[in-house]
Amino acid sequence: MSRRLLLLAAGLQLSSLVSGQTIVVDGTEVDANANNVAPAEEVLATGDLLPEESVQLTDAVLANLTEIALSDADLFAFADDEEAGDTSIQEKRTINLKCKTFPGDALWPHNIAWTVLDLLTGGRLIKTVPIAASCYNNFGVFNAAKCNSVSSSWTDSYMHEADPTSVMSPLYQGLTCMPTTNPAGQCTLGGFPSYVVRAGNVAHIQLAINFARNLNLRLVVKNTGHDFNGRSVGAGALSIWTTEFKSIDYLKTYKTKSYSGPALKVGAGVIGIELYQAAEQYGVTAVGGEGMTVGFAGGYLAGGGHSPMSPMYGMGADQILSLEVVTPDGHFITASETQNTEVFWAMRGGGGSTFGVATSYTVKVYPKLNVASVAKFTFGTSATVSYETFWEGVRAYLESIPTYNAKSNYEYWNIWHTGPGANDLQALLAPLLTKLAALGINVTPEYSQHDSFYKAWSAGFPKELVGGSAAKTTGRLFPTENFVNAAKFNTTVTALKSIVDRGGELLGFGITGGPGPFPDNAVNPAWRDTALFAIAVRTWAEGTPLSEVATLSADMTANWMQPWRDAAPNSGAYASESDVTEPNFKQSFYGTAKYARLLALKKKIDPTGLFYANLAVGSDEWYVQGQYPGLPTQNGRLCRV
Ligand SMILES: Cc1cc2nc3c(=O)[nH]c(=O)nc-3n(C[C@H](O)[C@H](O)[C@H](O)COP(=O)(O)OP(=O)(O)OC[C@H]3O[C@@H](n4cnc5c(N)ncnc54)[C@H](O)[C@@H]3O)c2cc1C
Ligand SMILES: *[C@@H]1O[C@H](CO)[C@@H](O)[C@H](O)[C@H]1NC(C)=O
Ligand SMILES: *[C@@H]1O[C@H](CO)[C@@H](O)[C@H](O)[C@H]1NC(C)=O
Assess whether the C-beta atom of 290 lies below 6 angstroms from ligand 1. yes
Residues 6+ apart with CB under 8 A from 595: 586, 587, 589, 617
Give the C-alpha separation, 352 to 348, whole Å.
Answer: 10
Domain boundaries, the chain: 248-367
Q: What is the DSSP letter of 99?
A: B
**Confidence bin at 301 (pLDDT 50/70/90):** very high
Distance 86 CA to ligand 1 centre (A): 37
* CA angle, 13 then 5 then 195, to 5°: 60
Q: CATH classification of 248-367 is 3.30.465.10, yes or no?
A: yes
Assess whether the C-beta atom of 232 lies below 6 angstroms from ligand 1. yes
- Percent of the chain scored above 90 by pLDDT? 74
Distance 573 CA to ligand 2 centre (A): 51
Asked if residue 19 has pLDDT above 60, the reply is no
Q: Which of 35, 69, 74 has the alpha carbon at shortest distance from 57?
A: 74
Give the C-alpha separation, 626 to 29, whole Å.
Answer: 41
Is 99 exposed, middle or buried, given 0-12, 13-18 or 19+ CB atoms closer than 10 A? middle
Please write the tens of the pLDDT for every residue from 34-45.
776 767 654 333
**Confidence bin at 203 (pLDDT 50/70/90):** very high
Please answer whether residues 48 and 194 qualify as being in contact, where contact means their C-beta atoms are separated by less than 8 angstroms. Answer: no
Please write the tens of the pLDDT for every residue from 64-122.
765 533 343 478 888 875 444 445 445 545 555 899 999 999 999 989 889 989 988 99
Pocket test for ligand 2, best of 56, 64, 65 (most atoms within 8 A of CB): 64
Assess whether the C-beta atom of 424 lies below 6 angstroms from ligand 2. no
**Confidence bin at 127 (pLDDT 50/70/90):** very high
Please answer whether residues 135 and 151 qualify as being in contact, where contact means their C-beta atoms are separated by less than 8 angstroms. Answer: yes
Give the C-alpha separation, 582 to 589, whole Å.
Answer: 9
Average pLDDT, the chain: 89
- Percent of the chain scored above 70 by pLDDT? 88
Distance 176 CA to ligand 1 centre (A): 23
Assess whether the C-beta atom of 269 lies below 6 angstroms from ligand 1. no
Please write the tens of the pLDDT for every residue from 631-641.
999 999 999 99
Average pLDDT on 255-277 reads: 96
Sheet containing 446-450: give its strands across. 446-450, 372-376, 414-417, 410-412, 505-510, 530-539, 471-479
Q: Which atom of ligand 1 is nearest to the CA of 576?
A: 18
**Confidence bin at 530 (pLDDT 50/70/90):** very high
Instruction: Looking at the CA of 398, name the nearest ligand.
Output: 3
What is the separation, in whole angstroms, between the first and last Cα of the chain?
A: 47
Residue 23's pLDDT is 63
Any alpha helices (H) in 476-535, and if so which ranges? 481-484, 486-501
Q: Which of 380, 394, 388, 401 has the alpha carbon at shortest distance from 477?
A: 401
Assess whether the C-beta atom of 490 lies below 6 angstroms from ligand 3. yes
Assess whether the C-beta atom of 64 lies below 6 angstroms from ligand 2. yes
Q: Of 15-19, 231-235, 317-321, give the lowest mean pLDDT range.
A: 15-19
Please answer whether residues 325 and 408 qualify as being in contact, where contact means their C-beta atoms are separated by less than 8 angstroms. Answer: no
Q: Which of 206, 57, 39, 22 has the alpha carbon at shortest distance from 120?
A: 39
Q: Which of 219, 207, 267 has the alpha carbon at shortest distance from 242?
A: 267
Please write the tens of the pLDDT for every residue from 356-400.
999 999 999 999 988 888 888 888 888 998 989 989 999 999 999
**Confidence bin at 18 (pLDDT 50/70/90):** very low
Q: Which of 291, 269, 289, 266 has the alpha carbon at shortest distance from 278?
A: 266
Give the C-alpha separation, 352 to 317, whole Å.
Answer: 12
Give the C-alpha separation, 257 to 248, whole Å.
Answer: 23
